[in-house]
Structure 1
């Protein structure tokens, strides 16, 4: 009597074909699309929503429909840098001029550089940079990395728990599987008072992507090296590079990207005459 063993490659192929079938099933379930929704719903997008809902088509469909409503109301692809540039004057959130080892876009966050009090504008600023990070992802890559520097962090000058919750809800519900990993670099002890209520808003998958790293921890140093080339990584995160945020230069870069965004979504096309 012989026991049949499942070949790993065959198992992977079966799994892949099953997932492809789920993508097709979800596309059929959401029905015909047009305009921005059609542009938004690539196969890769559908895969991310399915992944976020453990490949349950009904749940992924509901999640996607909620995103359609949110994007129609919030219009993240229409936000332009000049509208939220004041939020970025201190460089509290910016797109890094380097990528991680997998070529992913890196967002740098410095909560200690908080310069405004409007929670709504803070969220809008971050949504703009999420869209920008996605725009700058290399082909075939769907995720980004976050580096969070706590220099100058205090409970008085930083985001409220409510704003943090709003950001988490948008990230988890409308940008599923966009975050690869978030490094919280050397958070001070007082950060725990902020983190304690905030962590309950994170779902299990997002929670696992949050890494606390400390410069004196050998494991932390090695973890950072697996994700980043230390020659590119700023010293604020244990690397050898210098982090210089130049608001004027960054604003020029964002203005150029706004043109790319308009082209991507078709805003530069003039309406045809009736």
Structure 2
């Protein structure tokens, strides 16, 4: 007896792309009519990020996106201006680097050892401001950013409270999904392990995988950094050859200039409008 062999269907990557674009359309249809800031925020790349964060489940992505839109309507991150949070940045505890990583992504530099305030709200608003600023400065077509975290001077006295860290993680994971390319924790002290154990449970698996511990005397760590960053641009604090000195006055000028761009971008909040290319 002869058996007919079932013809195998060949899988084409473009089929996946097509199906995912259908998901984007479904999500947009579920959102319904949008205008003003909500329309500016909900670009196709934005919808894709929320779908990716929820494994392309339209219903879950919709819930996540609606929660973000509600959060943005109350927290109003696009309305924060540098003069409101500048005091939080006087020591340079968080700043945007003047270089990009190898993929052209914006780089945020964090120095938790330079913590200078105890205000949970102030710390969060300052960080959110710089995240929004980093997104504003992403090159066209780029959706993610890299974080470099320098532990020089870090102690249990300078760490933010676990509750504040939890609130920050919640905002990052739920309202800025798929924005993080990688977070590089450079040479953390052993005492940091206790704080990390408390924080890691707030991280979802995708975010957890993007957190990399880097040690200057570890060959794999050195190779990892050179994969993501050009050592000629990378500051010496992170094993590179560049010199980085935070100048609050100069950084403030740059942020004040960007505030003008931010205001212009979000100015038409009361009119339906389409933005051809935006990373927000």
> Which whole-Å CA distance do the structure 2 matches of 1:6 and 1:105 have between them?
42
Partner of 1:180: 181
Name which of structure 1's ranges 152-161 and 260-269 shifts more when overlaid on structure 2.
260-269
> Which whole-Å CA distance do the structure 2 matches of 1:91 and 1:233 have between them?
17
Name stretches of at least 5 consecutive residues in structure 2 with no aligned partner.
271-280
Counting only pairs closer than 5 Å after superposition, residues 139-218 of structure 1 correspond to structure 2 as: 139-218=140-219
> Which whole-Å CA distance do the structure 1 matches of 2:114 and 2:7 have between them?
61
SS of corresponding position for 2:201: helix
Shift of 1:2: 6.7
Partner of 1:272: none
Partner of 1:242: 243
Counting only pairs closer than 5 Å after superposition, residues 110-149 of structure 1 correspond to structure 2 as: 110-149=111-150
The change in CA–CA distance for 1:6 and 1:98 in structure 2 (over 3 A counts) is farther
> Which whole-Å CA distance do the structure 1 matches of 2:187 and 2:141 have between them?
32
> Which whole-Å CA distance do the structure 2 matches of 1:197 and 1:84 have between them?
27
> Which whole-Å CA distance do the structure 2 matches of 1:55 and 1:108 have between them?
31
Per the normalisation by structure 1, the TM-score is 0.95
Per the normalisation by structure 2, the TM-score is 0.93
Q: Is the 8 A contact 1:262 1:268 kept in 2?
A: no
Partner of 1:233: 234
Shift of 1:268: 10
Name stretches of at least 5 consecutive residues in structure 1 with no aligned partner.
270-274
Q: Is the 8 A contact 2:23 2:58 kept in 1?
A: yes
> Which whole-Å CA distance do the structure 2 matches of 1:122 and 1:150 have between them?
17
The change in CA–CA distance for 1:233 and 1:4 in structure 2 (over 3 A counts) is farther
Counting only pairs closer than 5 Å after superposition, residues 1-274 of structure 1 correspond to structure 2 as: 11-266=12-267
Quote the RMSD (CA, aligned, Å).
1.6
Shift of 1:6: 5.5
Q: Is the 8 A contact 2:68 2:174 kept in 1?
A: yes
Q: Is the 8 A contact 2:36 2:268 kept in 1?
A: no
SS of corresponding position for 1:157: coil
Shift of 1:11: 2.0
Shift of 1:37: 0.2
Shift of 1:158: 1.9
Q: Is the 8 A contact 1:104 1:143 kept in 2?
A: yes
Shift of 1:156: 1.1
- Which has the higher relative contact order, 1 or 2, with Cα contacts under 8 A spaced 6 or more apart? 2
Q: Is the 8 A contact 2:37 2:268 kept in 1?
A: no
> Which whole-Å CA distance do the structure 2 matches of 1:73 and 1:236 have between them?
38
